Amino acid sequence: MFIMRENTFKSNQHTAPISDAMENYARDGALAFHTPGHKQGLGAHPRLKKLITTEGLRQEVSLMEELDDLHEPMGCIKEAEELAAELWGAKETLFMINGTTSAIQAMLMGTLQPGDKVLVPRNAHRSIIGGIILADARPVYIQPEIIASLGIPGCLSVEVVHRAVVENPDAKALVAVYPTYYGMAGDLKAIAAVLHEHNMLLLVDEAHGGHLKFAEHIENMPRQALDLGADVVAQSTHKVLGSLTQTSMLHIGSDRVFGEKIRAAAALLQSTSPNQLLLASLDIARLQMAMEGRERLQRAVELSQQLRQEINTIAGLYCVGKEILTTTQTMALDSTRLTVQVAGIGLTGPEAEAILRHKYKIQCELSDNNNLVFIISMADDEAVCQRLLTALRDMAAENAGKEPLTVVVPQDLYQANEVVVSPRQAFFSPKERVRLSDSVGRIAGETISFYPPGVPVLCPGERITAELLQAVRQQQSQGMRVVGPADCSLGFIEVMQNH
């Protein structure tokens, strides 16, 4: 049981203004001659009523006077966003209902001008590349640390960032991935200092860190980006907190950016008829974290630490722990992310994922060549963790006789490819379809990503190399899922004509 703690906030964090407004409108009994077509559930199919509930459908309206306007908030949405800004420590917070993809893209469009140069880590999510295309920015790719023992990208080092800043003094910003999908956090505070000293912005994709504000009291947990000097931060509230999928928050952290421009960019990228249920879920998730976030997160960390210790007693499995802090550029590790290497029991990540999913009815968050990633959230308890532990023990025992696999290190996937033309120019240019095997030397006209984690290994405007194609084929052979190109089998690829 969690105890509500007294807070020192100026505002009343116990309230949920959007949810309250929705309830009040539904109870008012106004006869509906407006959208949506189901008319507060009266015309909804029984399956939809079962899915959303009768009460949910009754409140599923938008754009009424008392329900406010997401793009020009003056009432309950404005109040809810102000409560969120206060809780996370932002100067201003925007609610996003088109995922963190739109939050990241609004962040880029709202801070960059066409032609601006922006520093981008090579392990950036495909939504960042989409934002660069929309903003018509010029990416300068920089390489994160490659952790060979795990076969994954790690954090950006301060030295790499400083070198990129010196070599590109005209760059306007760096887009940092913090923490990584694997929960690894670099020295963001020092990186912010380097950037700000050179009048550059720190824009942060903190999709997997919306909970970090509530871990300030927990030793060795990363600090949130807003508290480390970030100018704008995009967070996936739905990924680890209690809002509905597709809901996120965009936090403005400094006066170096213009909130009006960022909000205008967000208005271009989001629906003019936002789903009120999504907005209410953000509001309620904020309420939940204000009231019991610290206690719930503390419990999740304790569970994950216990589970990590137990996993590391299983022969052939290795779960990453605090030792990573002394052997890599990682400054802090999010304990609620469990990265479990399965190469020691002779399985690839996709093979282990399939076994857990179909034999044990357990679904991981991510599998790569060598590892599985599991998220322990505030929803989990001892019984859930024990079920995962038992499944991992059984899987390891059943594969005990197998020869351990060599860890695959897809180094070439995270190299800074040559950017010949801007991603936007390549995206809109005339293209032709060629066999992937015949594409060496050509300029990519589309994106190739492996999902999850959705990191592009080839972006529009980049020159295709033989080394990259070899790495891509290796990923395919490991069972990685291709996302982005028109031909996801990668028999063919779209390239720019006359290049």
pLDDT tens per residue, range 4-43: 344 566 678 999 999 999 999 999 888 888 888 999 998 9
Q: How confident is the model at residue 410 (pLDDT cuts 50, 70, 90)?
A: confident
User: Where are the alpha helices (H) located in 340-400, listed in sequence order?
Assistant: 349-359, 382-398
The token pair at 471 is 């790495």
Q: How confident is the model at residue 284 (pLDDT cuts 50, 70, 90)?
A: very high
Nearest-angstrom CA–CA distance, 375 and 215: 15
DSSP 150-175: TTEE-PPPHHHHHHHHHH-TT--EEE
pLDDT tens digits for 52-63? 999 999 999 887
Contacts of 198 by beta carbon, 8 Å cutoff, 6+ apart: 165, 169
Residue ranges and CATH numbers for the domains of the chain are: 12-67 (no CATH), 74-283 (3.40.640.10), 294-398 (3.90.1150.10), 411-496 (3.90.100.10)
Question: Are the beta carbons of 433 and 494 closer than 8 angstroms?
Answer: yes
Q: What percent of the chain has pLDDT over 90?
A: 85
Beta strands in 155-283 (DSSP E): 173-177, 184-185, 201-206, 232-235, 248-252
Greatest alpha-carbon pair distance for the chain in Å reads 69
Nearest-angstrom CA–CA distance, 258 and 397: 57
User: Stretch 462-470: mean pLDDT, rounded?
Assistant: 92
User: Stretch 64-75: mean pLDDT, rounded?
Assistant: 90
Question: Residue 262's pLDDT is what?
Answer: 98
Find the angle CA(265)-CA(452)-CA(345) to the nearest 5 degrees.
160
Question: Residue 414's pLDDT is what?
Answer: 83
Question: Are the beta carbons of 76 and 68 closer than 8 angstroms?
Answer: yes
Count other Cβ atoms within 10 Å, centred on residue 470.
Answer: 10
User: Stretch 444-459: mean pLDDT, rounded?
Assistant: 88
Nearest-angstrom CA–CA distance, 111 and 103: 12
The whole-model pTM stands at: 0.94
Question: Residue 63's pLDDT is what?
Answer: 78
Sign of CA dihedral 41, 47, 48, 54: positive
Q: Is a pLDDT exceeding 80 seen at residue 411?
A: no
